[in-house]
Amino acid sequence: MAKKDIAWSELGFGYIKTDKRYVSNFTGGKWDDGAVIDDDMIVMSECAGVLQYAQTIFEGLKAYETKDGKIVTFRPDLNADRMIDSAKRLEMPPFPKERFLDAIKKVVDANRDFVPPYGSGATLYIRPYMFGINPVIGVKPAEDYQFRVFTTPVGPYFKGGAKPITVKISDFDRAAPKGTGNIKAGLNYAMSLHAIVTAHNEGFAENIYLDPASRTKIEETGGANILFVDSDGNIVIPKSDSILPSITRRSLAIVGEKYLGLKVTQREVLLSEVFEGRFKECGLCGTAAVISPVGRINDHGKEFTFEAGMESMGPVTQKLYDTLTGIQMGTIDAPEGWIFEI
Ligand SMILES: Cc1ncc(COP(=O)(O)O)c(C=O)c1O
């Protein structure tokens, strides 16, 4: 099979329809066998639970070609676990972990020609999701659900090198204490849209959300966890029950400790510590960029610029980035179980 004729290095982050997708239906209290299909359209009742009460959850991961030509994904078992947690919180039937991994394998395998070549910087983004599909008018969980996985090739996150960004402290809250901030539910993203459009209109790349109860502690951004490097060169990760447990951030913590010999501390981080100059580097961690360097934080006009500056990633952030992407691309030995071959 030949790769599709796509200008891989010019791809952005947009939807491009690929040939196949995976579908499984939950009806009568159980999941059917599931299948890889051609049809990208979904037909559902006008009163479907997802349309009325936003009962939908999702995941995001990537498949890519390694240096030796294998197609792999990175720690998909953790996406399966997180989707199970999301399902339980929204009263949806969890999609079994083994079935999730099988679905990823099948749908990537069926779209092999869309996996960008090694070295292009592009990847095949994988989107598993699940939603309530039967008519629901009184507020309650749906009875029938659909689990689907589609893929779409996406371009390199950083074109021409990673440039540090300026982020603002948001006036909006992302997640209530004991709310749904720690799961990947569509509703968390719907409510973030106004905040991100506002930030972009003001010239900022992203929002940092504070804890809504005291508005003093750093939580995360709309689509990534945050990591700091302190003045000793060690890693500090904000701890909160209402942030999404990022698979990239959890992996970077292990990389920092086990591969780079750094101390990694997870604790509550006050915004005031940033302005006191406790940290010299800051990065946003997520599947999309691995680490996106933050050069400057703006809190209502008061600005703090990290020592690493606005030109390039700081040295510790760079080492973390190089090591994790090396592990993902197969040029550095991975810890047991991190690389899932298709
Ligand atoms: C709110 C939020 N935080 C963090 C992340 C990063 O998580 P991961 O590293 O698993 O992609 C994401 C993206 O998935 C996200 O949407």
pLDDT digits (tens, 9 = 90+) for 195-214: 999 999 999 999 999 999 99
Eight-state DSSP code of residue 37: E
The protein residue with its alpha carbon nearest to ligand 1, atom 16, reads 223
pLDDT band at 218 (very low <50, low <70, confident <90, very high): very high
Query: 238 alpha carbon to ligand 1 midpoint, in Å?
Result: 14
As beta bridge partners, residue 58 has 129
Instruction: Check if 8-154 and 165-329 are the same fold.
Output: no
| Nearest ligand 1 atom to alpha carbon 288 | 11
| Nearest ligand 1 atom to alpha carbon 60 | 14
Does domain 165-329 bear CATH number 3.90.1150.10?
no
Mean pLDDT in residue range 39-62 = 98
Contact 21, 107 (CB under 8 A): yes
pLDDT exceeds cutoff 70 at 73: yes
Mean pLDDT in residue range 8-12 = 89
pTM above 0.95, yes or no: yes
pLDDT exceeds cutoff 90 at 1: no
Secondary structure of residue 317 in the 3-state scheme: helix
CA dihedral 300, 303, 308, 310 (to 10 degrees): 80
Mean pLDDT in residue range 236-263 = 98
Residues 6+ positions from 234 with CB-CB distance below 8 Å: 262, 263, 264, 265
The protein residue with its alpha carbon nearest to ligand 1, atom 15, reads 223
Residues 6+ positions from 118 with CB-CB distance below 8 Å: 64, 65, 66, 67, 69, 329
The protein residue with its alpha carbon nearest to ligand 1, atom 2, reads 223
Pocket probe mutation, ligand 1, options 287, 292, 328, max atoms within 8 Å of Cβ = 287
CB 6: neighbour CB atoms within 10 A? 17
Does 281 or 308 have the greater pLDDT score? Answer: 281
Q: Which residues line ligand 1 (CB under 6 A)?
A: 60, 220, 223-225, 244, 246-249, 285-287
Pocket probe mutation, ligand 1, options 62, 157, 244, max atoms within 8 Å of Cβ = 244
Q: Which of 171, 178, 213 is nearest to 192 (CA)?
A: 171
Q: What share of the chain in percent tops pLDDT 90?
A: 93
Pocket probe mutation, ligand 1, options 191, 225, 241, max atoms within 8 Å of Cβ = 225
Sequence spans of domains, the chain: 8-154, 165-329
In this structure, CATH architecture of domain 8-154: 2-Layer Sandwich (3.30)
pLDDT at residue 287, as a whole number: 95
Mean pLDDT in residue range 126-143 = 98
